[in-house]
Amino acid sequence: MASASRSLVIALAFAATSQLRAQAPAPLRLSFADAVRQATGQTQAAPPSVVIAGFRADAASARVREVRSGLLPNLALSGFWMSRTFNTQAQGLSFPGIPKIIGPFDAYDGRVRVTQTLLDFANMSRVSAAKSQASAAGADRSVVIEASAQNVALAYARAARALAVLNARQADSSLAAELVNLAVAQQQAGVSASIDVTRARTQLAEAAGRLIVASNQVDRARIDLARALGLDPVTPIALADTLNAQLGAADVPADRSAAVAQGVATRPDLAAELARGAAARTSASAISAERLPRLELEADYGVSGIALPSALSTRNVIVQVTLPILDGFRREGRLAEQQAVARESETRARDLREQVSADVDGALLDLRSAVAQQMIATERLQLAAEEVSQARQRFKAGVAGNIEVINAQASLLRARDADIDARFAAVSARIALARSVGSARTLH
């Protein structure tokens, strides 16, 4: 009776949870491809990491315009009015007849001033460096998009796996309930001992506990998926896809050499590192160019005088050449710093090229292993189902106790889990392969 009461409480709790879900708003139906598109910012809603990466790319583009301003004209307007007196003694003028204070007198001046850099090799190199940095920021955004697509794809796969486990646990519970009914019928017919009923009810209670855990894992996986997509964690999500053989496919070459070549050509992290190295080398060139002469033009035109009606037009034109000689060796220190950054970037780029090969090889190995495991798991699942059917028939015929049925049921449970794990491993390997060649955003 106590066992039956506990089972009733568990069933009521699970029913209450199901009722609360039924009262929730309509869920957002989401396919795997839709989730990946949303993760890459192809829809109105995008994860915060992708949005932030876009802002950083915009900031880098704005810095290009900022640096280029040093090569463009500058225009300014100025004007002033001044009323002034002079102390002649403070100027060293102490002669008879000269008053100590002269003034006050007024002065007016209005002017238009234009400055233009005619030739500045350093600034031109700095513009090129800023463009390389903007390219690196754009590649960094692609890195974030690839990572977001991979994270969302894995989160979706985990949610699909949790649903598959929940379905398996529901099937286990249904089978355990059938076995309880069979054990009770066998006991009432006098062909089975009461211990068989106790064993069956124990299996039913264990199945109910595993069902609750599986239900909780589904809710947790949906929360993780919502957060990966940048949604409110309470957003109800209904998965449109399951752990099937097509889930996680992407535009990836089947040949290993072609996949490595695509990864080297399109991996955004490698492209970002190459752009950072180019920016460092261009910055070093800009620092070296600071030793070259700089040619500037400055001109102004305006009116000045002691009264506005009598103000006269004046102008000023200056052509200036500047040749830096020595700045306390600060320039040499900056140059050495940028050269070190460039060498570091070259080392990172070489390592990333090798990492592309390692990632592709690892993903291909995992995929082959997962496919083989899936074939074995499918056969194992069929055999376990047959074992349960045969054991149930033997128990029903009274030629064996239900211990065989319970053992077969446990074997079926393990076979279902192995099948789910193999399918999930295959999907994960396909996602990793797409990420290794820089094609995670094409997952579908």
User: What digits encode the pLDDT tens for the residues 224-233?
Assistant: 999 999 888 8
What is the chain's mean pLDDT, rounded? Answer: 86
439, pLDDT greater than 70: yes
Please tell me the predicted confidence (pLDDT) of residue 114: 93
Q: Which of 99-113, 176-190, 375-389, 406-420 has the lowest mean pLDDT?
A: 176-190
350, pLDDT greater than 90: yes
* 106, 80 contact by CB (below 8 A): no
Residues near 290 by beta carbon (within 8 Å), at least 6 away in sequence: 122, 324, 331
Please tell me the predicted confidence (pLDDT) of residue 409: 85
255, pLDDT greater than 60: yes
20, pLDDT greater than 70: no
Superfamily the domain 2-442 falls into: Outer membrane efflux proteins (OEP) (1.20.1600.10)
Of the chain, the percentage scoring pLDDT greater than 90 comes to 39
Please tell me the predicted confidence (pLDDT) of residue 104: 84
Q: Which of 41-45, 68-72, 330-334, 408-412 has the lowest mean pLDDT?
A: 41-45
* 438, 146 contact by CB (below 8 A): yes
| 74-87 β-sheet, strand order | 74-87, 101-119, 294-305, 312-322
Please tell me the predicted confidence (pLDDT) of residue 13: 47
Please tell me the predicted confidence (pLDDT) of residue 16: 47
Measured CA to CA, the distance from residue 177 to residue 197 in angstroms comes to 11
Please tell me the predicted confidence (pLDDT) of residue 201: 86
Look up the pTM and report it.
Answer: 0.81
Of the chain, the percentage scoring pLDDT greater than 70 comes to 93
- Average pLDDT (193-212) is 85
pLDDT band at 24 (very low <50, low <70, confident <90, very high): low
| Range of 92-101, 116-125, 183-192 with top mean pLDDT | 116-125
Please tell me the predicted confidence (pLDDT) of residue 101: 83
Q: For residue 151, which of 435, 444, 437, 436 has the smallest C-alpha distance?
A: 435
Domain ranges of the chain: 2-442
* 207, 14 contact by CB (below 8 A): no
Q: pLDDT tens digit string along 82-110?
A: 888 878 777 777 777 778 787 788 888 89
* 81, 107 contact by CB (below 8 A): yes
**110 forms bridges with which residues in the sheet?**
79, 303
User: Which residue shows structure tokens 């920021």?
Assistant: 137
* 63, 133 contact by CB (below 8 A): yes
